Amino acid sequence: MSQSFLDDPISSDDLNRVIQLMRTIGVDLQRYEVKSSRRELSKDLPRTLSAFSNGGGGVVICGLSEKDGFTPVEGFDAAAIQDSLARVCSDSMTPPVRPQIQIMEFEGHSVVVASVAEMRPIDKPCYVTSANMYMGSYIRTGDGDRRLSPYEVDRLVEEHRQPQHDVEIVEQATLADLNGALVNGLLARERRVHARNFAQLDDETALIRLGAARRGASGVVRPTLAGLLSLGLYPQEFFPRLNVSFACYPGVRKSDVSAAGQRLVDSATMVGPVPQMVEDAIAAVERNTRTGAVIDGAFRREVRDYPVLALREAVVNALMHRDYSPLSQGTPVQIDLYVDRLEIVNPGGLYGNVTINSLGKDGVSASRNQHLSNLLESTPYGDGSFVAENRGTGYQVIMSELTGALMPPPEPFDTISSFRLVFERRRLARSETTLSSGEAVRAVVMGLLKDQVSISSSEVADASGRSKGTVLKHINQMVEEGILEPTRPIGSSRQRYRRAGA
pLDDT of residue 360: 77
Q: For residue 71, is pLDDT > 80?
A: yes
Range picked from 138-142, 176-180, 289-293, 355-359 for highest mean pLDDT: 176-180
Q: For residue 301, is pLDDT > 70?
A: no
Give the number of residues written for the chain: 502
- Report domain extents, the chain: 12-158, 165-236, 244-424, 435-499
User: From 3.40.1360.10, 3.40.50.10860, 3.30.450.40, 3.30.565.60, which CATH number describes the 244-424 domain?
Assistant: 3.30.565.60
Q: What is the pLDDT of residues 11-46, one digit of tens each?
A: 999 999 999 999 999 999 999 999 999 889 999 999
Q: What's the rounded Cα separation, in Å, for the pair 363 and 382?
A: 29
For the domain made up of 435-499, give the CATH fold.
Arc Repressor Mutant, subunit A (1.10.10)
CATH class of 12-158: alpha beta
What separation in angstroms does the CA of 336 have from each of 125, 344, 349, 472? 31, 6, 18, 33
Strand 341-347 versus strand 299-304 pairing type: unpaired
Same fold: 12-158 with 244-424 = no
Question: Averaged over 326-345, what is the pLDDT?
Answer: 96
pLDDT of residue 7: 56
pLDDT of residue 257: 85
Question: Averaged over 485-492, what is the pLDDT?
Answer: 89
Contact between 2 and 121 (Cβ < 8 Å): yes
pLDDT band at 2 (very low <50, low <70, confident <90, very high): very low
Using a pLDDT cut of 70, give the percent of the chain over it.
93
pLDDT of residue 3: 39
Q: What is the pLDDT of residues 201-240, one digit of tens each?
A: 999 999 999 999 999 888 999 999 999 999 999 999 999 9
Which residue from 142, 177, 166, 199 is spatially nearest to 374, judged by alpha carbons? 166
Report the Cα–Cα distance between both ends of the chain, in Å, rounded.
60
3-state secondary structure 97-142: CCCEEEEEEECCEEEEEEEECCCCHHHCCCEEHHHCCCCCEEEEEC
Q: For residue 199, is pLDDT > 90?
A: yes
**pLDDT averaged over the chain?**
90
Q: What is the secondary structure of 231-271 as a DSSP string? A: HBS-GGGT-TT-SEEEEE-SSSSTT---TT--S-SEEEEE-
Ranges of beta strands (E only) in 338-431 are 341-347, 411-414, 418-424
Q: What is the pLDDT of residues 101-127, one digit of tens each?
A: 999 999 999 999 999 999 998 999 999
Q: Is 367 helix (H, G, I), strand (E, B) or coil?
A: coil
pLDDT of residue 293: 53
Question: Averaged over 161-184, what is the pLDDT?
Answer: 96
- Between 279 and 364, the more confident residue is 279
3-state secondary structure 143-204: CEEEECCHHHHHHHHHCCCCCCHHHCECCCCCHHHECHHHHHHHHHHHHHHCHHHHCCCCHH
pLDDT of residue 206: 97
Question: Averaged over 1-7, what is the pLDDT?
Answer: 47
Q: What is the pLDDT of residues 455-488, one digit of tens each?
A: 999 888 887 767 787 888 899 999 999 999 999 9
pLDDT band at 433 (very low <50, low <70, confident <90, very high): very low
pLDDT of residue 297: 43
Residue 237's φ and ψ, nearest 5 degrees, are: -60, -30
